[in-house]
Chains A and B, each alone.
Chain A
Amino acid sequence: QVQLVESGGGVVQPGRSLRLSCAASGFTFSTYSMHWVRQAPGKGLEWVAVISYDGSNKYYADSVKGRFTISRDNSKNTLYLQMNSLRAEDTAVYYCARVAGIVVVTDAFDIWGQGTMVTVSS
């Protein structure tokens, strides 16, 4: 079945780095653009970053621009989020989500992973 499974979360000190992974299965990963979305404890959803199907285009929320890098390895069916210079306010559950169609701007996030928790604390 179509599935996304995140991993790599954990507790990290402020200023340190962490890399999240999102393993895709059950669909042709290389033909879909992908997002990262996060949710701070008790808060709403916040879009983080998006990458096109071939990795050629990447966009970021202002809150993470310059610190986070989204990437993908289509040969491994895996999406990544490299998070550097982490701050307390980056503490959240991080979800990867698939773009439903080919129009990245308007298409919905149709498949979501279960999420991985990142806690930034000293």
Chain B
Amino acid sequence: QSVLTQPPSVSGAPGQRVTISCTGSSSNIGAGYDVHWYQQLPGTAPKLLIYGNNNRPSGVPDRFSGSKSGTSASLAITGLQAEDEADYYCQSYDSSLSGWVFGGGTKLTVL
């Protein structure tokens, strides 16, 4: 059981918009720690997608956006493309565990 909760899977047709939620608690997201998102394409290492809740590293398309409110965060992907099919993970810090935590991951399927 992951400290950060994500839906196991989401899906959408090309061109559509999907969101992935990440629910935490008062010891991680709710404590004000930043949330980061990673994309893991099949058979590859994770790649930083969103940092500091809503910032995109250079090279990440603006179709990807992040938000945070209270004890939760969300990743939104607009204009879905086939190449977006991947696993997505949220990540933060947990003060109760004194460690870095990840969500369980969400598999995005582009229909």
Give A contacts to B, CB under 8 Å: 35, 37, 44-47, 50, 59, 61-62, 95, 97, 100, 105-115
Please give me the residue from chain B that is nearest to A99 by CB atom: B100
| Cβ–Cβ contact A110 & B99, under 8 A | no
Task: Say whether B68 faces chain A, with CB atoms less than 8 Å apart.
Answer: no
| Cβ–Cβ contact B51 & A110, under 8 A | yes
Q: How far is the CA of A60 from the CA of B24 in the complex (A)?
A: 21
Q: How far is the CB of B88 from chain A (nearest CB, A)?
A: 11
Considering only CB atoms and an 8 Å cut-off, how many residues of chain B contact the other chain? Answer: 25
| Cβ–Cβ contact B33 & A44, under 8 A | no
A108 partner, pick from B51, B98, B105, beta carbons under 8 A = B51
User: What chain B residues lie within 8 Å of A108 (beta carbons)?
Assistant: 34, 36, 48, 51-52, 91
Q: How far is the CB of A58 from chain B (nearest CB, A)?
A: 12
Counting chain B CB atoms within 10 Å of each CB, the highest count among A45, A61, A62, A110 belongs to A45
